[in-house]
């Protein structure tokens, strides 16, 4: 049973470009969460999605960031017009149900904006 798969592992973008981060949840998991980790910091919640629905996006910046979890395919975190401050590790996690299930994390995508 494969774990949560994130790709790419590393992503380098120049300022102003778009970044697309992909996450395939564990088999049987329908809940996906995205977190951002700045250097020497804990993980900060960004967005919580179920298939085709955004449940909680209270941690998402209002501009340039968007997320989706289509009926078919992986969840995508999209960052438009990246800036240096977007450089961070972005983690995806999944769970089979709502809040009482532990989250299973992917290995993260490290985004570097040059």
| Chain contacts with another protein (rule: CB under 8 A) | 33, 35, 41-45, 48, 56, 89, 91, 93, 99-100, 102-105, 107-108, 110
75 upstream amide cis, omega within 30 of 0: no
CB 37 within 8 A of CB 52: no
Q: What Å distances lie between residue 23 and 49, 104, 114, CA to CA?
A: 12, 12, 23
- Cβ of residue 76: shortest distance to another protein, in angstroms? 18
Given the complex with another protein, which of 85 and 99 has the nearer CB atom?
A: 99
CA–CA dist 23, 15 (Å, integer): 23
Given the complex with another protein, which of 82 and 94 has the nearer CB atom?
A: 94
- Cβ of residue 88: shortest distance to another protein, in angstroms? 12
- Cβ of residue 93: shortest distance to another protein, in angstroms? 8
Q: Is 48 helix (H, G, I), strand (E, B) or coil?
A: strand
Percent helix, strand and coil across the chain, each to the nearest 5: 5, 50, 50
- Cβ of residue 78: shortest distance to another protein, in angstroms? 20
Given the complex with another protein, which of 71 and 99 has the nearer CB atom?
A: 99
Given the complex with another protein, which of 17 and 50 has the nearer CB atom?
A: 50
């Amino acid at each position: 049973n494969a774990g949560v798969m994130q790709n790419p592992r590393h992503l380098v973008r120049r300022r102003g470009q778009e970044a697309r981060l992909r996450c395939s949840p564990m088999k049987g998991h329908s809940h996906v969460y995205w977190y951002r980790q700045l250097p020497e910091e804990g993980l900060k919640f960004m967005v919580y999605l179920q298939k085709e629905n955004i449940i909680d996006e209270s941690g998402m910046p209002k501009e340039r960031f968007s997320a989706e979890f289509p009926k078919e395919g992986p969840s995508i975190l999209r960052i438009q017009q990246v800036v240096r401050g977007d450089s961070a590790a972005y983690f995806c996690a999944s769970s089979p149900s709502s809040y009482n299930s532990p989250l299973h994390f992917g290995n993260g995508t490290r985004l570097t904006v040059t």
